Amino acid sequence: MARAHNFFPGPAVLPVPVLEATRDAVMDFNGIGVSIMEISHRDKAFEQVITEAQNDMLAIMGLSPDEYAVLFLGGGASMQFAMVPLNFLQKKAEYVNTGEWATKAIKEAKVIGEVVEVASSKDSKFSFIPKNIQFSPDADYVHITTNNTIYGTEWKTDPDTGNVPLVADMSSDILGIKRDFKKYSLIYAGAQKNLGPAGVTVVVIKKAWAEKAKQNLPNILKYKAHIDAGSLYNTPPVLPVFVVRQTLKWIIAQGGLDAIQKQNEKKAQIIYDVIDAHPDFYRGTVTVKEDRSLMNITFVLPTPELEDKFAAEAKARKMLGLKGHRTVGGMRASLYNACPIESVELLASFMEDFYKANK
């Protein structure tokens, strides 16, 4: 089957070997005669899947299993918007607002307690990442969103919050860029961009911090309850967990984060070079180049009509998912880990041709 060129922002492109392994496991998992979707999550065969996924996740991130736990939960990142403050917001939490998902996280946290929006780029349409932020030493935690899927910005440097726990929504760039993961007390990510399909959320949490969480919560909302149960407190989404495991093995086979980031930088630069070469036609929406995302490249054309034409002609060439988010319009090319460089080169060539034909 000839595959299209997938630039969807999520659910998004997955590695072909992962799709093939998943296809096989859906019919016959490990040769035992049943689908991965039909096996008990308490069976030794599935316990091996989830344990391998947890171990591989920590190994790729350079984290110790003695200090950190990996959980596979439901509810998407949106559940984590509430679950984080439910567990850890005692007096006040500080949030950096860099886009729509950060805004939603702030809104949910305010239902639980006091939230200080310590920095924001909202007044500039989220076109940059705030710098030189002064965090309070008495905050319960600091929350950031590492990649702005809609507006195309990305934290390239992990903030220094001193002794205050750092929490991050890494849904759209997790394992796509190297970070000092030891700086974070909790990381969460909807899997449907770089890790797997929709339906599972990965949480990486420092065990010692989980011990300090509030206790007057239902167990299903306690991180510690999930840690104590090995992420099997309730039935996990077995098929998405299997896909995540396969994707992690694919990342390791590529050479780990060093190789993944190098490839992602190369892919992003190909498209940014076209945008920079024709700034009057392709206008990037991020105003500070160092803040430009490796994952989601956002730009606008001179008119909405040209944008519609661009999307239609790209789709005719089997380049899918290039329309910008419905709230902002414009164009967006999502270049997640599994997006082949051949797709990126084809998009860049099309952009050059479209410019020449429509300038």
Question: Which amino acid is located at 14 in the chain?
Answer: L
Q: CATH for 16-254? A: 3.40.640.10
Give me the catalytic one of 101, 155, 209, 250.
101
Residue 353 CB neighbours (<10 A): 12
What interhelical angle do 341-358 and 256-277 show, nearest 10? Answer: 10
Per-domain residue ranges for the chain?
16-254, 257-358
Report the pLDDT value the prediction gives residue 267, as an integer from 0 to 100: 98
Mark whether 169 is an active-site residue: yes
CATH architecture assignment, domain 257-358:
Alpha-Beta Complex (3.90)
pLDDT in tens, 110-158: 999 999 999 999 999 999 999 999 999 999 999 999 999 999 999 999 9
**86 within 8 A of 141, measured Cβ to Cβ:** no
Question: Considering only CA atoms, which of 195, 186, 96, 73 is closest in space to residue 145?
Answer: 96
DSSP string over 133-201:
----TT-S-EEEESEETTTTEE--S----TTS-EEEE-TTTTTTS---GGG-SEEEEESTTTTS-TT-E
* Cα(285)–Cα(68) distance, integer angstroms: 37
Assign 327 a pLDDT band (cuts: 50, 70, 90). Answer: confident
- According to DSSP, residue 292 is labeled B
Asked if residue 230 lies in contact with residue 87, where contact means CB atoms within 8 angstroms, the answer is no
Q: What is the pTM of this model?
A: 0.97
Catalytic site residue from 140, 155, 193, 209: 193
Q: What is the pLDDT of residues 166-196, one digit of tens each?
A: 999 999 999 999 999 999 999 999 999 999 9
pLDDT at 2: 85
Cis omega (within 30 of 0) for bond into 65: no
User: Which residue is catalytic, options 56, 140, 155, 169?
Assistant: 169
Let me know if 56 is a catalytic residue: no
123 noted as active-site residue = no
Encode pLDDT of 225-279 as tens digits: 999 999 999 999 999 999 999 999 999 999 999 999 999 999 999 999 999 999 9
C-alpha span between 80 and 97 (Å, rounded): 16
